[in-house]
């Protein structure tokens, strides 16, 4: 039996990750730190005035697909997983920054002429960064609309609590600053701080790592590039 790993991603984003862990021989438990909900659309979305759509998460793609069947706009995506979700929903013109929000801003500056019209950014109410503000000085108009909600979890599953308290979990995987923040809140709520001294934290980026740095870990690792593949490479280096 392989090492036991804790996944903190929302259920909607975990399918590929859990399959990858299975393939690598890891056992896993899940404690989603965010619960994703999609409001019922009040009417169809008119995207005719936009020249492109920006996706900073796969859930943004899922929400967009609920709002309109129009796939005519080019899609600029933060990473490959989000780009694959676009392809799944029928987008033909898809670009991936293969990184984080800063890489996405760089990609947009290279590929998109701000003079050709505004960009549509379907997103959660809270995001890891303000892409519109980042691009504003370059002349881009970004229309960000809340199309889904990411609610912080207020509890930890009993099987995960037991595994943490018995020091059975070798590593916890963190993919976003907000999931990391929520995990820290719950660890303190359940008084689990001392139970992490033998557990490693594997983080997608330095921004994610900064949110869990106040806890006492056996070690922390950061993916050399902000993708699932590189995060799992760091997990493999613990063996």
Q: Which residues contact 175 (CB under 8 A, 6 or more apart)?
A: 8, 9, 13, 204, 208, 228, 231
Question: Same domain for 19 and 106?
Answer: no
Question: Same domain for 128 and 162?
Answer: no
Q: For residues 140 and 131, what is the distance between their CA atoms, to the nearest angstrom?
A: 10
Rg over alpha carbons for the chain, rounded to the nearest Å, is 19
Question: Same domain for 127 and 224?
Answer: no
Question: Same domain for 96 and 166?
Answer: no
Q: What is the pLDDT at residue 125?
A: 81
Average pLDDT over the chain, rounded to whole?
A: 92
Q: Is the pLDDT of residue 74 over 90?
A: yes
pLDDT digits (tens, 9 = 90+) for 171-228: 999 998 999 999 999 999 999 999 999 999 999 989 899 999 999 999 999 999 888 8
Question: Same domain for 146 and 161?
Answer: no
137-153: average pLDDT: 92
**Residue 142 belongs to domain spanning:** 37-150
φ/ψ bin of 221: left (φ > 0), alpha (ψ from -120 to 50), beta (otherwise): beta
Question: What share of the chain in percent tops pLDDT 70?
Answer: 98
Q: For residues 53 and 56, what is the distance between their CA atoms, to the nearest angstrom?
A: 10
Q: What is the pLDDT at residue 166?
A: 96
Q: Is the pLDDT of residue 21 over 90?
A: yes
Q: What is the pLDDT at residue 82?
A: 92
What is the edge-to-edge ordering of all strands in the sheet holding 27-30? 27-30, 4-7, 171-174, 200-203, 219-222
Q: What is the pLDDT at residue 28?
A: 97
Paired tokens of 92: 């033909």
Q: Is the pLDDT of residue 128 over 70?
A: no
Q: For residues 82 and 68, what is the distance between their CA atoms, to the nearest angstrom?
A: 18
Question: Same domain for 179 and 202?
Answer: yes
Q: What is the pLDDT at residue 126?
A: 75
Question: Same domain for 181 and 219?
Answer: yes
Q: What is the pLDDT at residue 129?
A: 67
Do the beta carbons of residue 3 and residue 171 sit within 8 Å?
yes
Q: How confident is the model at residue 99 (pLDDT cuts 50, 70, 90)?
A: confident
- What values do phi and psi take at 75, rounded to 5? -115, 125
Name the more confident of 237 and 110: 110
Question: Same domain for 130 and 208?
Answer: no
Q: Choose one of 95, 119, 150: the last residue of a domain.
A: 150
Q: For residues 164 and 201, what is the distance between their CA atoms, to the nearest angstrom?
A: 13
Cβ atoms within 10 Å of 126's Cβ, excluding its own? 12
Q: Choose one of 150, 179, 195: the last residue of a domain.
A: 150
Q: What is the pLDDT at residue 2?
A: 85
Question: Same domain for 96 and 134?
Answer: yes
Q: Is the pLDDT of residue 239 over 70?
A: no
Q: What is the pLDDT at residue 237?
A: 84
Question: Same domain for 54 and 129?
Answer: yes
CATH of residue 195: 3.40.50.10090
Do the beta carbons of residue 212 and residue 200 sit within 8 Å?
no
Q: What is the pLDDT at residue 9?
A: 95
Q: Choose one of 107, 135, 150: the last residue of a domain.
A: 150
**Overall domain count for the chain:** 2
Question: Same domain for 10 and 82?
Answer: no
8-37: average pLDDT: 94
Question: Same domain for 80 and 159?
Answer: no
Cβ atoms within 10 Å of 116's Cβ, excluding its own? 10
Do the beta carbons of residue 192 and residue 163 sit within 8 Å?
no
């Amino acid at each position: 039996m392989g090492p036991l790993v804790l996944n903190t991603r929302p259920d909607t984003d975990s399918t590929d990750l859990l399959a990858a862990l299975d393939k690598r021989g890891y056992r896993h438990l899940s404690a989603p730190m965010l619960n994703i909900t999609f409001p019922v659309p009040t009417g169809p979305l008119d995207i005719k005035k936009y020249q492109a759509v920006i996706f900073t998460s796969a859930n943004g793609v899922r929400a967009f697909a609920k709002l309109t069947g129009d796939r005519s706009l080019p899609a600029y995506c933060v990473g490959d997983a989000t780009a694959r979700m676009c392809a799944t929903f029928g987008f033909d013109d898809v670009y991936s920054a293969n990184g984080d929000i800063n890489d996405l801003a760089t990609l947009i500056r290279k590929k998109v002429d701000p003079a050709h019209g505004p960009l549509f950014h379907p997103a959660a109410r809270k995001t890891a960064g303000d892409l519109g503000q980042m691009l504003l000085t370059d002349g881009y108009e970004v229309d960000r609309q809340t199309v889904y909600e990411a609610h912080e979890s207020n509890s930890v599953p009993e099987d995960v609590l037991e595994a943490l308290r018995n020091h059975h979990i070798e590593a916890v995987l963190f993919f976003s600053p907000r999931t990391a923040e929520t995990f820290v809140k719950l660890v303190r709520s359940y008084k689990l701080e001392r139970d992490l001294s033998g557990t490693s934290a594997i983080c997608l980026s330095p921004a994610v790592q900064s949110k869990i740095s106040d806890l006492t870990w056996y070690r922390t690792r950061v993916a050399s590039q902000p993708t699932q593949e590189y995060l799992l490479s760091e997990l493999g280096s613990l063996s």
